[in-house]
Amino acid sequence: MLEKSSVQMKFGEAVRDGLDVALQLDPHLICYGLGIDDPKRIFGTTAGLAEKYGNDRVFDVPTSEAAMTGIAVGAALRGVRSVTVHQRLDFFFLAMDQLINNAAKWHFMFGGQRSVPIVIRLILGRGWGQGPTHSQSVHSWFAHIPGLKVVMPTNAADAKGLLLSAIFDPNPVLFLEHRWLHEAVSNVPSGDHRVPIGRARVVSEGGDVTIVAMSFLVPEAIRASALLARHGVACHIIDLRTIRPLDWDTVSAGIVKTGRLLALDSGLPICSVASEIVAFASERHFHSLRAAPRRLTMPDHPEPTSFALTRNLHPSAESIADTVCEMLDLPHRFAADPKAGPHDVPGPWFKGPF
Amino acid sequence: MNTSLPNDPSLRLVRDLLRVRMVEEAIAREYPKGEMRCPVHLSVGQEAVAVGTGAALERSDLAVSTHRAHAHYLAKGGNLKRLLAELFGKEAGCARGRGGSMHLIDLDVGFEGSTAIVGSTLPVGVGLALGSKVRGDSAVTCVFLGDGAAEEGVFYESANFAAVRKLPVLFVCENNSYSVYSPLGVRQPPGRRLYEVVRSIGLTSALHDGNDVFAVAATVKTAVAGIRHGGPPVFLEFSTYRHLEHCGPFADDTLGYRPEPDVAAWKARDPIIQAQDKVRDHPEFSDETIGRWRSEIAAEIDEAFAFARATPWPEQSTRAEYVYA
């Protein structure tokens, strides 16, 4: 029986709620990852699950990213779904053979005989000196690989809904959750709430410029649109939610509607998802465009650690609003709010260390 | 076909060994015609490990393997026609022509898949065993590997997890001393024995002659029984030798990468010759028996090649299928 009620909760709590629901629905589902039942419980996202479902289903593992990913593939072949978790995406690079050669290709290379229903949670770091190897957002790598699905929820309801859809999808799904979104609060439907994979969400309807964003850049885009609204500029904001398969219909409609496209990307610029969206706009909607499509991404170098060097590193509400004004030939430029806290934390709730 | 399958398990092993050898030799013979357009890694010389292991596993047990998998697939009971059709790139192939020689599968007999990247199926096999444990079934998973795979980091990770969770998994390592052309001497320090390293990880392990099909079958049978009754995972290292080139249908000893006395000594210990010598005094075994088996197997192989040649290609229009389930 689906419950129709909803409760306010944080993104991190919604992930936990989604896992709880899935563990109830599928008696063979297993959840594992380094630290999953340690005192910190993956930033609280697995709190109480080992106690509730036992250590045969929710368990800590050796520090072996490659094998633990291949083991998820094997268990899936035997009919056991899994949700594995890495506290930083960057550690998961050790598992690329298992992800790309096995998980993504098993269904294809054996002619459709077996699929690999696994979910891999990858937590994206940023700020507080996370530095070169604790802050990488390589969703475009994963999106490059046929056979993988890639989701990047922005709010608590989508986090739960996409997680449940991912768990019960027959394919391998990468679930990228931004550490800075863990405290984001929204209304989350109770029970078996699912958000379809492959469908973007129109956050706001506006006629002047279309901003396509993902993950933590969605709240930045929303803040930018508030700045721009003061100058009479209305933004059409699209939260991609899924990176692969990408919702080209919703992106198309947005481009055609305003004729101006700003593609944001929390990753690096070369061969980024933003590049793909700008290419798509140029190829398919050239005659609808009223200005050159633009991208805002990380700069093309690794993230440094120093507090001084990370200032203005990531796209922000202000840089988004500035870019929109350039596209519209408007003179306005925006400075960071002097009353805002330090640039390297999402808010006063984040005290480090990661 | 298979009109004279012997009831005696020893004779059955000898016949199965001969069958795998004859299939591999037929592939080598036909390969230069250019119809099998994919890399092939033949098991000629190493078949006893596969055949002995296959005989000791139940049909409901599972296996995963490597780039050199024809023998493992056949020994587990994999369908010969679908193997050859796969090498020919046909829709009736065991992977519908999507995988080729290095990606074999026959789910009817628990052959869950072989893949091309060295060491890649090691954790997959351990995961199958974890799945069996979670679901409470009694299958043992056999993970075939070579000595090269035991140098991959993922091998140590996989063996460790199998030990720490006490999973029903058997590692069967064919140590043929070469990773492509690179000998053990440049890859591992002198005196190291792989099975000893693995024992220190927490698996039961042993080293045996991989060219003695009877010893392989007996060893694996004991190991599987122990695992099935809740014992720790097992690693069995078998010494053996590849007769043909690493990849392809020909001999390559003219290249001089293996000492000639080694090659001669190992060929003198050919598993087929050894096996036949051991059953020489068996009342149901004679030269006539061998001759009969050879003609039966040759007919089976001819029929399978005819099937592989005649069966249709996959449709071009299906090329993008199976990317997602």
- CATH number for the domain spanning A257: value is 3.40.50.920
Q: How confident is the model at residue A352 (pLDDT cuts 50, 70, 90)?
A: confident
User: Contact at 8 Å (CB) between A327 and A291?
Assistant: yes
Instruction: Give, to the nearest 10 degrees, the angle between helix B213-228 and helix B9-30.
Output: 110
Instruction: Examine residue A74 and state whether it is found in any structural domain, yes or no.
Output: yes
Residue B68 in 3-state DSSP?
A: coil
CATH of residue A64's domain is 3.40.50.970
C-alpha closest to that of B272 among B10, B17, B49, B11: B17
What domain range includes position A13? 7-189
| Chain B contact for A101 (CB, 8 A cutoff) | yes
Instruction: Examine residue A218 and state whether it is found in any structural domain, yes or no.
Output: yes
Residue B76 tokens read as 């587990």
Kindly state whether residues A62 and A124 are assigned to the same domain. Answer: yes
| Chain B contact for A109 (CB, 8 A cutoff) | yes
| Chain A contact for B107 (CB, 8 A cutoff) | yes
Instruction: Examine residue A207 and state whether it is found in any structural domain, yes or no.
Output: yes
Query: If you ran DSSP here, which 8-state letter would residue A297 be given?
Result: -
C-alpha closest to that of B311 among B38, B10, B51, B93: B93
Kindly state whether residues A17 and A138 are assigned to the same domain. Answer: yes
DSSP string, B221-290: HHHHHHHHTTPPPEEEEEE----S-SSSSS--GGG--S-HHHHHHHHHT-HHHHHHHHTTT-TT--HHHH
Record: contact B122-A70, CB cut-off 8 A: yes
Record: contact B324-A171, CB cut-off 8 A: yes
Residue A117 has pLDDT above 60, yes or no: yes
Show which of residues 11-30 on chain A sit within 8 Å of chain B, judged by CB atoms: 28, 30
Instruction: Examine residue A39 and state whether it is found in any structural domain, yes or no.
Output: yes
Instruction: Examine residue A150 and state whether it is found in any structural domain, yes or no.
Output: yes
**pLDDT at position A337, please?**
87
d(CA B224, CA B187): 30
- Which class for B224: exposed (0-12), middle (13-18), buried (19 or more C-beta within 10 A)? buried
Instruction: Examine residue A348 and state whether it is found in any structural domain, yes or no.
Output: no
Please write the tens of the pLDDT for every residue from A254-268.
999 999 999 999 999
Residue B97 tokens read as 């022509």
Instruction: Examine residue A249 and state whether it is found in any structural domain, yes or no.
Output: yes
Other C-beta atoms lying within 10 Å of the C-beta of residue B189: 7
Q: Which of A144, A160, A189 is the last residue of a domain?
A: A189
Kindly state whether residues A177 and A222 are assigned to the same domain. Answer: no
Higher-pLDDT residue of A189, A2:
A189
User: Contact at 8 Å (CB) between B170 and B236?
Assistant: yes
Kindly state whether residues A143 and A230 are assigned to the same domain. Answer: no
C-alpha closest to that of A242 among A309, A175, A190: A175
Q: How confident is the model at residue B1 (pLDDT cuts 50, 70, 90)?
A: very low
- CA A144-A146-A148 angle, to 5 degrees, is 90
- CA A109-A114-A119 angle, to 5 degrees, is 100
**pLDDT at position A338, please?**
86
Among A134, A139, A193, A314, the active-site one is: A134
Residue A2 has pLDDT above 70, yes or no: no
| Chain B contact for A79 (CB, 8 A cutoff) | yes
Mean pLDDT for chain A overall: 97
User: Contact at 8 Å (CB) between B80 and B74?
Assistant: yes
B321, closest residue in chain A (CA to CA): A108
**pLDDT at position B2, please?**
47
Residue A155 has pLDDT above 80, yes or no: yes
**pLDDT at position B231, please?**
96
Record: contact A64-B157, CB cut-off 8 A: yes
**What is the arithmetic mean of pLDDT over B232-242?**
98
Shortest alpha-carbon distance between residue B125 and chain A (Å): 6
Residue A81 in 3-state DSSP?
A: coil
Q: Which domains does chain B have, with CATH numbers?
A: 9-311 (3.40.50.970)
DSSP string, B28-58: HHHGGGS-S-S-----TTTHHHHHHHHHHS-
Residue A148 tokens read as 């993988």
For residue A65, indicate whether it is catalytic. yes
Please write the tens of the pLDDT for every residue from A40-73.
999 999 999 999 999 999 999 999 999 999 999 9
User: Contact at 8 Å (CB) between A295 and A217?
Assistant: no
Kindly state whether residues A174 and A319 are assigned to the same domain. Answer: no
Question: Which residues does A40 contact at the CB level (< 8 Å), separation at least 6?
Answer: none
Amino acid identity at B216: V
d(CA B42, CA B40): 6
Record: contact B321-A112, CB cut-off 8 A: yes
d(CA B230, CA B168): 7
C-alpha closest to that of A294 among A270, A252, A264: A264
**What is the arithmetic mean of pLDDT over A158-183?**
98
Does the predicted interface ipTM exceed a cut of 0.85?
yes
Please write the tens of the pLDDT for every residue from A177-224.
999 999 999 999 999 999 999 999 999 999 999 999 999 999 999 999
Kindly state whether residues A98 and A181 are assigned to the same domain. Answer: yes
User: Contact at 8 Å (CB) between A198 and A240?
Assistant: no
Question: Which residues does B139 contact at the CB level (< 8 Å), separation at least 6?
Answer: B58, B60, B61, B62, B110, B128, B132, B168
For residue A193, indicate whether it is catalytic. no
Other C-beta atoms lying within 10 Å of the C-beta of residue A226: 13
Kindly state whether residues A58 and A153 are assigned to the same domain. Answer: yes
Distance of CA B188 to the CA centre of its chain: 24
Please write the tens of the pLDDT for every residue from B298-321.
999 999 999 999 999 999 999 999
Residue B3 has pLDDT above 80, yes or no: no
Kindly state whether residues A36 and A177 are assigned to the same domain. Answer: yes
Please write the tens of the pLDDT for every residue from B75-89.
999 999 999 999 999
Residue A139 tokens read as 């969703």
Residue A3 has pLDDT above 70, yes or no: no
> Which of A23, A32, A78, A94 to probe the B interface (max B CBs under 10 A)?
A78
DSSP string, A116-149: --EEEEEEEP-STT--TTS----HHHHHTSTT-E
**pLDDT at position A1, please?**
46
Kindly state whether residues A261 and A320 are assigned to the same domain. Answer: yes
**What is the arithmetic mean of pLDDT over A328-336?**
96
Residues of A in contact with B161 (CB under 8 A): 61-62, 64, 67-68, 71
- Work out how many domains chain A is built from and give that number: 2
Name the residue among A70, A112, A117 with its Cβ closest to that of B154: A70
Kindly state whether residues A322 and A205 are assigned to the same domain. Answer: yes
Kindly state whether residues A172 and A206 are assigned to the same domain. Answer: no
Kindly state whether residues A37 and A171 are assigned to the same domain. Answer: yes
Residues of A in contact with B132 (CB under 8 A): 78
Tell me which of A3-17, A202-216, B20-34 is least confident. Answer: A3-17
B130, closest residue in chain A (CA to CA): A75
